[in-house]
A and B are shown apart, each in its own frame.
Chain A
Amino acid sequence: MNKEGTLYTVAFIFIVSFAFVFLLSMTNQATIERVRLNEEVARQRAVLSAMGVEATTVDEIRGEFGRIAADEEQGLFARRVDDRTVYAKEFSGAGVWGLITGFLTVTADLEEFVGIEIVDDNETPGLGGRINEPWFKEQFEGQRIPDDGIRVRAGHADPEAGIVDGITGATGTSNAMQAIINRTVEQFRSPDIRARLEELAGQLASGGEV
């Protein structure tokens, strides 16, 4: 058979493409369940981390997450941590390059932040992407929530005045985080969400475990 002929060429491309795509879908099928599981565990770990609960292994994460009263549809979570009730809410807002999503946790009286966890961002790696570093996130632990919202300013951290440290060279991302956090706090304060969260907290109190 002529190796350079049209028929051979077309048949060759067909067979090669078919073989490769077939192998790929096999690999994909074989791992799809694992990928879904990874995503679920990553999400649960993020909620726990925003609440300040340490959990590393998959079993620990599942166990600890089981003690949360969750409304997955609205992205609302309630749990008792160290003898106080904390509320977490999923947030999502525009960053410099794309959406920033994550979880923000506050105390039940909305007086202070408990923690924050970033699930996904597309900020510039090494610049805005540093919102994912511990030093940035740890600033929120125990930070009082001022009535007029917090401010994120690089190099001007002042916890008393409600100013947390931003990222040098990434003003856009710092401003975006400020806007997202303050908007999430407003949502926590809205009557509907408060009512739902108190309902979730009620489930905790009655049963202790959910």
Chain B
Amino acid sequence: MTPALNPISLLFASIFTSNILLANFLGMCSFISISKDMKSSNGLGLAVTMVLTVTTAVNWLILQMLQTLGLVYLRYIVFIIVIAAVVQMLEMIIDRVSQTLYMNLGIFLPLITVNCAILGVSLFMEIRNYSFIQSVVYGLGSGLGWWLAIMALSAIRKKVEKAPVPPGLKGAGITMIIIGFMAMAFIGFGGMLQVQ
């Protein structure tokens, strides 16, 4: 059975109130290392959004197939292969369509295969029994939310670089504290939306 969730509130919720990164801790690895630089953050954010939307849709279709075949227990392997294949395909398509886009995105695409947010969204989509439309909207929203979070963090990190931070806290330590504050701020969006 599918939950009765309005796609628009689902989109809003996945970007703000339950941001995949700040509430579910997914996609942290590349998040911390890339967020040092705003330009790369932007590129990676765009790439994650594209890949998330496409893989969630493809994985939804594959999951229906696995369910009819009774092979749901193989979903982890299948999902990760689908993700790797989609990433590879996107890389080739972008290469043909636009050279400038390829120059900007190309280096980030391989990083995405091991980004937990991508697999995470597919698994959440499965466990929450979303319909096709809900899954695509959820994938898109999570991507946009991740993009928003990484842009905000890299902007803040630029300022913090000049601040007198204790030596042990420099780098990863202070970044974690900043993410903590961002997560608190995003919880504040919760009051704006009633998903019912």
Which A residues form the contact surface with B (CB < 8 A)? 20-21, 24, 28, 92, 94-99, 122, 124, 169, 171-172, 175-176, 179
Min distance, Cβ A117 to any Cβ of chain B, angstroms: 19
- Residue-wise interface mask of B (6-29) relative to A, using a CB-CB cutoff of 8 A (1 in contact, 0 not): 000000010000100001000000
Shortest 4 CB-CB contacts between residues of A and residues of B? A98-B128, A94-B3, A94-B4, A98-B3
Contact B73 A97 (CB under 8 A): no
B163: CB under 8 A from chain A? no
Q: Which of B1, B13, B18, B74 contacts A99 (CB 8 A)?
A: B1
Q: Which of B3, B77, B194 contacts A95 (CB 8 A)?
A: B3
Min distance, Cβ B15 to any Cβ of chain A, angstroms: 14
Contact A94 B196 (CB under 8 A): yes
CA distance A93 to B24 in the complex (A): 23
Contact B194 A171 (CB under 8 A): yes
B residues within 8 A CB of A95? 3
B187: CB under 8 A from chain A? yes
29 A-B residue pairs with Cβ-Cβ distance under 8 Å, sorted by A, are A20-B77, A21-B77, A24-B73, A28-B73, A94-B3, A94-B5, A94-B195, A94-B196, A95-B3, A96-B13, A97-B3, A97-B128, A97-B195, A98-B127, A99-B1, A99-B3, A122-B127, A122-B128, A169-B187, A171-B194, A172-B190, A172-B193, A172-B195, A172-B196, A175-B194, A175-B196, A176-B195, A176-B196, A179-B196
Contact B23 A99 (CB under 8 A): no
**CB closest chain-B residue, reference A20:** B77
CA distance A99 to B127 in the complex (A): 10
B164: CB under 8 A from chain A? no
B residues within 8 A CB of A124? 18, 23
CA distance A24 to B74 in the complex (A): 8
A residues within 8 A CB of B5? 94
Min distance, Cβ B73 to any Cβ of chain A, angstroms: 5
A residues within 8 A CB of B196? 94, 172, 175-176, 179
CA distance A179 to B194 in the complex (A): 13
**CB closest chain-A residue, reference B187:** A169
CA distance A169 to B188 in the complex (A): 9
Contact B74 A21 (CB under 8 A): yes
CA distance A122 to B3 in the complex (A): 11
B residues within 8 A CB of A97? 3, 18, 128, 195
B191: CB under 8 A from chain A? yes
- Residue-wise interface mask of B (168-196) relative to A, using a CB-CB cutoff of 8 A (1 in contact, 0 not): 00000000000000000001001101111
B residues within 8 A CB of A179? 196
A residues within 8 A CB of B73? 24, 28
Min distance, Cβ A154 to any Cβ of chain B, angstroms: 12
CA distance A169 to B191 in the complex (A): 9
6 further A-B contacts with Cβ under 8 Å, apart from A124-B23, A179-B196, are A94-B5, A96-B13, A97-B3, A97-B195, A98-B130, A99-B129
Please provide the chain B residues from 30 to 82 with a CB less than 8 Å away from any CB of chain A in the complex: 73-74, 77
